[in-house]
Amino acid sequence: MSSQVRILGIAGSLRRGSYNQAALRAATLLVPENSEIDLFQLDGIPMFNEDDETCPPSAVLELKKRIRSANSVLIVTPEYNYSIPGILKNAIDWASRPHGDNAWSGKSAAIMGASLGAIGTARAQYHLRQIFVALNVFPLNRPEVMIADAAHRFDENGHLIHEPTKRLIQELLKHLVDWTRRISPAPESTSASSTATARHPLSGGVPA
C-alpha cells in the first residue's frame, strides 16, 4: 500500500449537534502523520431494499466506492437501545451487497462512540464488532474509545474539550494506522483479495 493511510470516517447520527459527528470531526485533527480521514455522511442513503441491491441508488454506489478506495474505516457510533442506530446498520447492509460484492471485506477498522450516559456506547460497539465478523472486517481491539458523559466532554460548538479523550483518540488512530499497514493490501487489490476470503462455509460455495 502507499505510505499514506486513507481512513474513511462514518458517524452513525444525522442529528444536528451530534456528539458522534463531533467526535469524528475531532478525530480528523488527531490523525498521525501520513494518514488522513475522509468523511462520508449517511443522510443520502435510502432504506435498503433487496430488490434494488443489484442496481443500487447513486449514494450507495458512492459509499461503496469510497470504502474501496480507503485503506481503513473509522466508525463512530451512538448507542440506540443497546445497539447501533438503524441508519448505520442500513448503510452497512447496502455496502455489503449484493452477495459477492461486499465493499467492506478485508478492511481494517476502528470504533469509537459517544453517549450522554455512563456506558459510552459499549453495548453498541460490541454489536458492531459482531457485525464486523459477517462483513469480514478486521477491527482494532484496543484502545476502546467509549466517550461517556458527552455533554461535558464537548463544548456548545461541538469541540472536544476533554484532553484525556483527545489523547485516547490519538492513540486509537496511531494503532489503527499501524494495524492497517500490517494487514491491508493495496486498495486497488482489495476487491480481488476479498474473493480469497469471501467463500462463506454456509454459502454453498458461492462467493460471499
Q: Which residues bind ligand FMN (CB under 6 A)?
A: 13, 15, 18-20, 78-82, 115-117, 119
- Between 19 and 94, whose beta carbon lies closer to ligand FMN? 19
Strand 35-40 versus strand 72-76 pairing type? unpaired
Strand partners of residue 11: 76
Q: Which residues, at least 6 apart from 77, have a Cβ–Cβ distance to it below 8 Å?
A: 11, 12, 20, 84, 85, 88, 111, 112, 113, 121, 124, 125, 128
- The residue written with cell numbers 459510552 in the block is 120
Closest approach of ligand FMN to the CB of residue 14, in Å = 8
Nearer to ligand FMN, 39 or 119 (CB): 119
ω into 139 cis (within 30 of 0)? no
For ligand FMN, the closer CB: 40 or 179: 40
C-beta of 110: minimal distance to ligand FMN in Å?
Answer: 17
Pick 80 or 136: Cβ nearer ligand FMN: 80
Do residues 111 and 169 touch, judged by C-beta distance below 8 A? Answer: no
Shortest distance (Å) from residue 30 CB to ligand FMN: 18
Nearest distance from residue 108's CB to ligand FMN, in Å?
Answer: 23
Q: For the CB of residue 98, give the shortest distance to ligand FMN in the complex, in Å.
A: 30
Nearer to ligand FMN, 90 or 191 (CB): 90
